[in-house]
Amino acid sequence: MVDIWSGITQAFWLVLTLDAELVEIAGRSLYVTLTALAIACLISLPLAALIAVKRFRARRLVIAVLNALMGLPPVVVGLIVYVILSRSGPLGVLGLLFTPAAMIIAQVIIIVPLITSIAHQSIRDLWQEYHDLLISLNVTQSQKIWTLLWDSRRALLTAALAGFGRGIGEVGAIMIVGGNIDHATRVLTTAIALETGKGEFALALALGFVLIGLAVAVNLAIHWLGQTEREGRW
Amino acid sequence: MELFPMKASAIESRRRGQQLVGPIDLTLEGQGATVVIGPNGAGKTTFLQLLHGTARLSAGRIDWACSTEEARHHQAFVFQRPVMLRRTVLENLSYPLRLRGVSKAKAEERARDWASRVGLAQLVTRAATVLSGGEQQKLALARALICDPKLLFLDEPCAALDGRAMREIETILQEVKAAGTRLILSTHDLGQARRLADDVLFLLGGRLHEAAPAEAFFNGPETPQARAFLRGDIVE
């Protein structure tokens, strides 16, 4: 109980004094996760729309695999990305291992199935609603996909927020591919793991509270920007 | 560019081995309103969708005076249950124009004009999905007409609407018919069929039992099934 209280007060002071190290770590956490989220959305949303509207032989299999991959173990993803990016791996020449870029790659792999799966369900429901009208209007495939993405944008925000939540709280994969290097790849989650290992529970808790605060703030900001939960909107 | 005459030759629709519609042979000319009547389950909706091209033909063919692609470009369809895009009334109206590459300003100007014509001018900023059933159907009709189709299909457009909404819709339909738009609509409301029809197609069990000018059909139907239907008997 003392540790929790001490953690809260320490978190308060760290934020209030804009502790340089905290700002750096929190900034890197946001940078890595938001970049991964942006890349993942660029992949996931059109993919989800395409799976919803396109009829092809392996469609059910693709949906089942995507759903299964939502539970992809981050440590395994980290290990695979590590092997690929390591000096002897196929992409070793790029020299990305133990850089934020490697952490972004790992997070993209982890959150793409999650965003795609949630987005697909929303878009599929909307497609059922719009099907007859869009077919009647003779829309092209790209017009169809754009219409569905635009009209389900608020539901897609939820999918993106789920992806953000998974990414910002992720530790296993980015620890492996980032290495938790001070002033280079250390982020809030890996710093929490490190401080806990050192027995600095109060500081670890403080960082944890900052992480929670950051996640809530980003969620609120996206909700506010997306104008969700307003009367007469979707 | 002319769509008509349209010639349907032995068109059929089958689903999972079950015959839904056809075989039907039919030639339609380019004037007036053709009303497709018949009891529930007669195949009216599928028949309209086959003609419009949104349902796949299992057999037969449809020939227009122009190419099928051009014919589709000059058609519109109003559904029994209006499909509302999750957008405002104005955005719903301008959507077909935007699909055809019309600029946003021009599309919205035209959308406002059509909103006024169908009595929705005060509602253009409202979400389409919160409109009443009658308002939604008027919006769907205006959205179908905004690209000036030469042929308009309507699948029971006034089903579940009150008398006032029905009158408003029929007034718009009479206006667009007078302006030269060819109408093909289905209904099982005989009163509406009498008010709107120039020709009648009587469908039963997916087959075309009778095709006749409206006056001839209502005054003296040829088939016993059509006579029974007009009497109000249950026909199967």
B121 in A contact zone (CB under 8 Å): no
Q: Closest approach of chain A CAs to the CA of B95, in angstroms?
A: 10
pLDDT of residue A120: 94
CA distance B78 to B99: 17
Give the pLDDT score at A233. 52
Q: Which residue has the tokens 């109206």?
A: B93
For residue A46, tell me if it sits in a domain.
Answer: yes
Q: pLDDT tens across B163-181, in order?
A: 787 888 888 888 999 988 9
Tokens for B205, please give them: 């069990």
For the stretch A94-114, pLDDT in tens is: 989 999 999 999 999 999 999
pLDDT of B182 strictly over 70: yes
Query: Cβ separation of B85 and A139 shorter than 8 Å?
Result: no
Is A233 within the bounds of a domain?
no
- Alpha-carbon distance values, B46 to B38, B42, B74, B189 (Å): 13, 9, 20, 18
Query: pLDDT band for position A1 (50/70/90)?
Result: low
What is the pLDDT averaged over residues B77-99?
93
Distance CA B94, CA B111 (A): 5
Give mean pLDDT, residues B107-132: 90
User: Which CATH number among 3.90.1150.10, 2.30.110.10, 3.40.50.300, 3.90.700.10 corresponds to the domain B6-81+150-231?
Assistant: 3.40.50.300
Give the mean pLDDT of chain B: 88
Orientation of helix A100-136 relative to helix A20-53, angle to 10°: 30
What phi and psi values does residue B204 have, to the nearest 5 degrees? -150, 130
How close does chain A come to B160, measured CA to CA in Å?
A: 19
Q: Which domain holds residue A125?
A: 2-226
Q: B37: part of which helix (H) or strand (E)?
A: strand B33-37
Average pLDDT, chain A: 88
State yes or no: pLDDT of A152 exceeds 80.
Answer: yes
So what's the pLDDT on residue A227? Answer: 64
Distance to chain B for A156, nearest Cα, Å: 14
Amino acid (one-letter) located at B167 = R
Would an 8 Å CB–CB cutoff place A155 in contact with chain B? no
Give the total number of structural domains in chain A. 1
Contact B79 A130 (CB under 8 A): no
DSSP A94: G
Give me the percent of chain B exceeding a pLDDT of 90. Answer: 33
Rounded to a whole number of angstroms, the distance from the CA of B86 to the nearest CA of chain A is 6
Least confident of A9-13, A100-104, A177-181, B38-42: A9-13
Q: What CATH number does residue A23 fall under? A: 1.10.3720.10
B181: left (phi over 0), alpha (psi -120 to 50) or beta: beta
| A200–B contact, CB cutoff 8 A | no
Q: What is the ipTM of this complex?
A: 0.86
- Name the pLDDT band for A228 (thresholds 50, 70, 90): low
pLDDT at residue B9 above 70?
A: yes
Instruction: Give residue limits of the domains in chain B.
Output: 6-81+150-231
> Would an 8 Å CB–CB cutoff place A231 in contact with chain B?
no
CB B155 within 8 A of CB B45: yes
Higher pLDDT, B31 or B86: B86
**Structure confidence at residue A145 as a pLDDT band (50, 70, 90):** very high
pLDDT tier for residue B21 given thresholds of 50, 70 and 90: confident
| A to B CB pairs, distance under 8 Å | 36
Of the candidates A135, A143, A234, the beta carbon closest to that of B86 is on: A234
Residue B89 with chain A: CB contacts under 8 Å: none
CA distance A174 to A170: 7
